[in-house]
Structure 1
Amino acid sequence: MNKPIAVDGVILAGGEARRMGGEDKGLVTLAGRPMIEHVIARFEPQVNALIINANRNHDRYARTGFGIVSDRDIGEYPGPLAGMAAGLAASEAELVAFVPCDAPLLPRDLVLRLSQALQQQQTDIAVAHDGDYWQPVFVLMKRTLLPSLDAFLSGEGRKIMHWFQQQKMAKVLFDDQLNAFENINTPEHCQRIEQQMMES
């Protein structure tokens, strides 16, 4: 796959995973491997360098061979935006792409299509949309947005789309890949996705 120039990738694995009983979702076993390994297999070929955003189990994530970065301390649990801020701060690339650790079916052309939209529409952020809903944790953004994001978080902003809508943003349709954005939130869902992977 052709890689867009100067794009780093960040896998967001810093969540609390309450619906999984608090178990670290990136390390949940799926089809015999930790879930994050399935995400890496699809995402890593699309970027120039890969970083994992994690707030616990650093030793286990380090076994993947990629760098680990934690959220900075900004008070109460700030959600995915804190992981995005940490990823932007850790990267030296012009553009940074983000995906969650619980989406093992993510598009193999995600970064390419987001990058094309960002460049063609001359925006600062490109966000995936499945035809019905925004998929805000599947996003590509310019690293120069870090000061804006830090200010938003410092002002106790937490809603991803609220911050996105303050920027120049491109909507990128992926309605041709209907299952690509399924994220695994429960053990039952994990079993269903595993069966789907075995049958495909």
Structure 2
Amino acid sequence: MSISSSAPDKSLITGLLLAGGRGTRMGETDKGLQSLHGEALALHVLQRLTAQTATVMISANQNIDVYKEFGFPVWPDHMQGFAGPLAGIQTGLLHCQTPYLLCVPCDSPFLPPDLAERLLSALMQRDADLAVAVTLEKRDGIQQKQNHPVFALMKTSVLAGLTTYLEDGGRKMQAWHASLQTCEVMFSDNTAFRNINTLEELRKIEN
């Protein structure tokens, strides 16, 4: 299905930076606060996110005062116990004052500048609850679809269902997506969704 050329109104969208994890693959450090070219990873993401949304908030469970210095509201998970990114999204939805919430991870500094526009266009045209980014990845010489579930835009009305899913013990992002009317939006640049998971990867990108 073709996407309309008229850009949706970004005033409809709140951005949510997901920085609430423990950073276990980065030696238990706070990934969002690791330096890339002299600035925290989270700041690189925020610069791209703020250009696409009406307002932004941060999901964080540690170093909250440091994240507050970036100039945006910071919310720890409503659900206790580091329940994963869905708990951060639930908290974001609880505080969202716009019809739509766009979530992105704090360790992906190259996110597309048209991410919000394309996801919202698809969600509206396909009458979906949630739109998620996908790319094509080559594995063993074969192009295969790669879902990027943390790069998602959703209606705030999904909050009740997400809360029930979490309270029932659900933690898997894609399983929750499967319970919704979800549409996929294909992006050609798979490097835009690259996650920096280790300090080695971070230094490699920096060099």
Q: Distance in 2 between matches of 1:134 and 1:34?
A: 26
1:55 maps onto 2:61 in alignment:
yes
Q: Quick one: percent identity of the two aligned structures? A: 39
| SS at 2:101 equivalent | strand
1:182 maps onto 2:194 in alignment:
yes
| SS at 1:130 equivalent | strand
Partner of 1:193: 205
Counterpart code for 2:129: D
Q: Distance in 2 between matches of 1:2 and 1:182?
A: 26
Unaligned 5+ residue runs, structure 1? Answer: 196-200
CA contact (8 A) 1:98 1:137 kept: yes
Partner of 1:171: 184
1:125 maps onto 2:137 in alignment:
no
Aligned residues, how many? 193
| SS at 1:167 equivalent | coil
The list of structure 1 runs, each at least 4 consecutive aligned residues, that deviate by more than 4 angstroms after superposition, is: none
Partner of 2:52: 46
Deviations 1:69-128 (A, max 9, x none): 110134x43211000000000111100000000000011110000000000111010000
Partner of 1:143: 156
Deviations 1:131-175 (A, max 9, x none): 23100000000001100000000000000011111100000101x
Unaligned 5+ residue runs, structure 2? Answer: 1-6, 137-144
| SS at 1:180 equivalent | helix
| SS at 2:118 equivalent | helix
Q: Which moved more, 1:22-31 or 1:65-74?
A: 65-74
Partner of 1:78: 83
Q: Distance in 2 between matches of 1:77 and 1:156?
A: 13
Q: Distance in 2 between matches of 1:139 and 1:96?
A: 8
Counterpart code for 1:92: Q
Q: Distance in 1 between matches of 2:190 and 2:174?
A: 21
Shift of 1:41: 1.1
Among 105, 114, 120, the residue aligned to 1:115: 120
1:34 maps onto 2:46 in alignment:
no
TM-score (norm 1): 0.93
Q: Distance in 1 between matches of 2:49 and 2:62?
A: 22
Q: Distance in 1 between matches of 2:121 and 2:206?
A: 32
Partner of 2:142: none
Q: Distance in 2 between matches of 1:24 and 1:36?
A: 10
CA contact (8 A) 2:20 2:82 kept: no
RMSD of aligned C-alpha atoms? 1.3
